[in-house]
Chain A
Amino acid sequence: MTLFAFHVVVIVLGILSMGFQLLASRLLNPHFGSSIIVWAWLISTFLAAFSIGSMVGGWISNLGPVGRRRGQLIGTGTALVTLAITALAAKPLLNLIEEHITDPSWSLFVSCVGIFFLPVTALSTFGPQCVQFLAGRGTPPGKASGVVYGVSTLGNIAGVMLTAFVLIPHLPVSTLLYLWLGVAAVSLAALVVLLRPASAS
């Protein structure tokens, strides 16, 4: 049961990460258009967040139980606070950036990094910790890594398809951002509970 819940949470985190990229594009389009330049910055920002999040998550995994617990709570807090800022204030922030930074490339860079980098980085820190969780339960590390990233990538695919074909056609982006915040709160809370035994061991 614990393993089933664990895999569900990993899938949900995958859905949140990549679905968020499509929502981000919808937020950026009115301000910066939908050119390939926008997509280049957006994809690069997300990949940078995946990269740094994974490295930070790997570092957290190697900490002692108290440090790991602290890292999980900071990761959860950062993800939820930054997702809440996106839901509440992304549009005013984008207006502000567009108004004050007239160079299109710079304003796009600041928007991508300022609004989308932190929540995705925070979500990504949990990937290596999930691997650690499985490895701590006796799964060989290589297999644990393959399972977590395989399942997470399935979640990524589901996130893209669900967001593009079901959610964006039927719901406003502002509503979806609150949905993302709510789902992230529930799934991260569940993950923090699931990871607790590993950190206590």
Chain B
Amino acid sequence: MNTFRLLSLLLLPLAVSAAVPAGDFVESHDTTYNSLTVERRGNLVEMRARARGSEALESAIDLNDPLRLVVHYTRSLYGALFIQPQPKRVLMIGLGGAGFHRLFAASYPDSLLHTVELDAKVLELCERRMGFTPTAKTPVTIMDGRMFVKRNKEQWDWLILDAFRGGFVPPHLKTEEFYRECAARLTDRGVFVSNLHATSQLYFSDLKTIRAVFPQVVLFETLGRGNVIAVAVKYKDPIITDPAKWPTAEALTLPIHAGRLDLKEVRNELTLFPSDRMKTARVLTDDFAPVEFLDTLKANNTDAKK
């Protein structure tokens, strides 16, 4: 009788897991740098990072259509096309679940998209659970983003900064000196693209710091999501801030974008600088970068839409 009870107890978890739809899973990992959760529900696989008592969505993939840009801000990243429509060589700092990568690689098969990721576990999960396989055109280097930019002397058409650690960006990736190092790695017509969170006081310092380095900056606001994508260049001429001079969305749209990326919509996300709030913000430097402190101060960003 006792043996039967023991067996029942041992088999109970198996019975419970059998009730979960086939293929679904939740797994959590405390890695060297993050507390990550990867969860599959139906066709969707999400990668989340625990931070401040909640979970920040880092990335998501639709396994039925891996080219679909599930997380909205990854669509806004393509706003860079309006400024540099020929991304032959792209450096991305921050891998996540490679939500951006697959459509990019399919859209521009001859282009190089090199990713730098700090956390080796992120790459492992991305490969094992989110179906991403790095190739010669989409290599991934495990290294600190700033270290890579310092040591690798190659030039890039797009340099995308999308590095988060549990919802915040490490301070050394937010400073004027780092942005100057990034600018030095851009081709003459290259663009620096940064995913910013417009929900705290840090946003205003971010913008002021980017503007301190790059003479021209445009912003795409992912509506209702709290993300703003800054696209910046190191040249003053030609002007990039006048959308009338941009290539049309139609000219940039590829057949593979159908149903996945609406560049007209991205173009409409163009937004203004919150100039009033930026007046009192301070430029972040290696010497003064209270990133964590500013990130805890909530922002009322309503004047961004004036």
B286 at the interface (CB under 8 A from A): yes
Contact between A30 and B170, CB atoms less than 8 A apart: no
1/0 per residue B168-208: CB within 8 Å of A? 00111001011000000000000000000000000000000
B32 at the interface (CB under 8 A from A): yes
Q: List 9 A-B contacts (CB under 8 A).
A: A26-B289, A29-B286, A30-B146, A30-B178, A32-B144, A34-B144, A34-B170, A35-B118, A91-B286
Q: Provide the residues of chain A in CB contact with B146, threshold 8 Å.
A: 30, 33
Given contact pairs A33-B170, A35-B118, A171-B288, a sample of 18 additional A-B residue pairs in the complex whose CB atoms are under 8 Å apart: A26-B289, A30-B178, A32-B144, A32-B147, A33-B118, A33-B144, A33-B145, A33-B147, A33-B172, A34-B170, A34-B171, A34-B172, A35-B33, A36-B32, A165-B293, A169-B293, A172-B288, A173-B287
Q: Provide the residues of chain A in CB contact with B289, threshold 8 Å.
A: 26
A168 at the interface (CB under 8 A from B): yes
Q: Provide the residues of chain A in CB contact with B287, threshold 8 Å.
A: 172-174
The complex places the Cα of A82 from the Cα of B177 at a distance, in Å, of 26
B interface residue count range (under 10 / 10 to 19 / 20 to 34 / 35 or more): 20 to 34
Contact between A29 and B288, CB atoms less than 8 A apart: no
Q: Which residues of A approach B to under 8 Å, CB–CB?
A: 26, 29-30, 32-36, 91, 98, 102, 104, 165, 168-174
Q: CB < 8 Å: which of A29, A32, A91, A174 contacts B171?
A: A29
Nearest A residue to B285, CB-CB: A172
Question: Looking at chain A's contact residues, is the secondary structure mostly helix, strand, loop, or mixed?
Answer: helix
Top 6 nearest A-B pairs by Cβ distance? A33-B144, A169-B293, A169-B290, A29-B172, A172-B288, A30-B286
Q: Provide the residues of chain B in CB contact with A98, threshold 8 Å.
A: 150
Q: CB < 8 Å: which of A91, A102, A104, A173 contacts B288?
A: A173
Q: Provide the residues of chain B in CB contact with A29, threshold 8 Å.
A: 170-172, 286
B15 to chain A, nearest CB (A): 40
Q: Provide the residues of chain B in CB contact with A104, threshold 8 Å.
A: 147
Q: Provide the residues of chain B in CB contact with A172, threshold 8 Å.
A: 285, 287-288
Contact between A35 and B288, CB atoms less than 8 A apart: no
